[in-house]
Amino acid sequence: MGFTFINISEPDGQGERSYWRVALIGVFVLLIAAFLHWGGYLVQASDSLPEHMDAAVVLQGSMARENMRLAAAMALVEQGSADRVALSIPKQSYWDEEVAPAAQLYVQKNYGPDLASKVDFCETAAYGISTEQEAREVSGCIQEHRWKTIALVTPNYDSRRVGLIWRKTLFQRDPSLQVSVDAVADPEYQPRGWWRRPVYAKVWFTEVTRLVRAIS
């Protein structure tokens, strides 16, 4: 009579290593999926606006984008959420012409004299200045009008960085100032699916780089 011996042993180290390798790959895949899904919101930070504000501050940008932000700020005035609109503009254009008169005509034409009378122009030394410099120069306008509660009307893609820089700058002058951020949707950036379109990904990468610099 013959006997067959079957060697039953514990799983070897190689099997355990394979198990942990698969587990790590699974965790890595989940992290990548989470990053792609929520990563677009890293650059965006919009606050719940208070019921009443002294002014909605429209920051500088390209003409099309600034018009979108101005419309959002005007809507806050129409709703009664803000008393005034502060429009940040350069003192002079590229052709050494004063910007305020042309801006005043644009506001009156598009929003009427009643709303136009509630717009204040906060002038900066030049166009295309940095966020830090704009915050420093416009802060003088805010103090001049004695505003204590303001909302920064800015594109969604730079809202976190803008809020960080402006709060730091304004609080140095007036710690009692209440600052909120109103992130306006921008056609060149959407946080959901930000990695699917090259223009969204480019904006995201640029803003993340700037955000890191602002934090450091």
Kindly report the CATH number assigned to the domain that includes residue 140.
Answer: 3.40.50.620
Q: Which domain holds residue 116?
A: 45-187+196-215
Output the tens digit of pLDDT for each of the chain's 216 residues: 555 544 555 555 666 778 788 878 888 888 888 888 888 999 999 899 999 999 999 999 877 788 899 999 999 999 999 999 999 999 887 777 899 999 999 999 999 999 999 999 999 988 778 999 999 999 999 999 999 999 999 999 999 999 999 999 999 989 999 999 999 999 889 999 999 999 999 999 999 999 999 998
Full-model pTM: 0.84
Contact 190, 203 (CB under 8 A): no
Residue 190 pLDDT: 92
**Among candidates 89, 198, 60, which has minimal Cα distance to 206?**
198
Contact 129, 54 (CB under 8 A): no
12 belongs to a structural domain: no
Question: Which single residue is written with the structure tokens 């103090």?
Answer: 143
C-alpha to C-alpha distance for 185 and 198, rounded to whole angstroms: 18
Residue 5 pLDDT: 47
110 belongs to a structural domain: yes
35 belongs to a structural domain: no
Residue 11 pLDDT: 54
In sign, the C-alpha dihedral spanning 70, 209, 173, 171 is positive
31 belongs to a structural domain: no
7 belongs to a structural domain: no
Burial class (CB in 10 A: 0-12, 13-18, 19+), 152: buried
Domain count, the chain: 1
For residues 138, 143, 145, 147, the Cα torsion angle rounded to the nearest 10 degrees is 100
74 belongs to a structural domain: yes
171 belongs to a structural domain: yes
Contact 166, 135 (CB under 8 A): yes
- Residue 123 DSSP class: E
Contact 146, 176 (CB under 8 A): no
Sheet holding 53-58, edge to edge: 119-124, 82-90, 53-58, 149-155, 178-184
102 belongs to a structural domain: yes
Q: How far apart are the first and last CA of the chain?
A: 80
**Among candidates 36, 67, 41, which has minimal Cα distance to 156?**
41
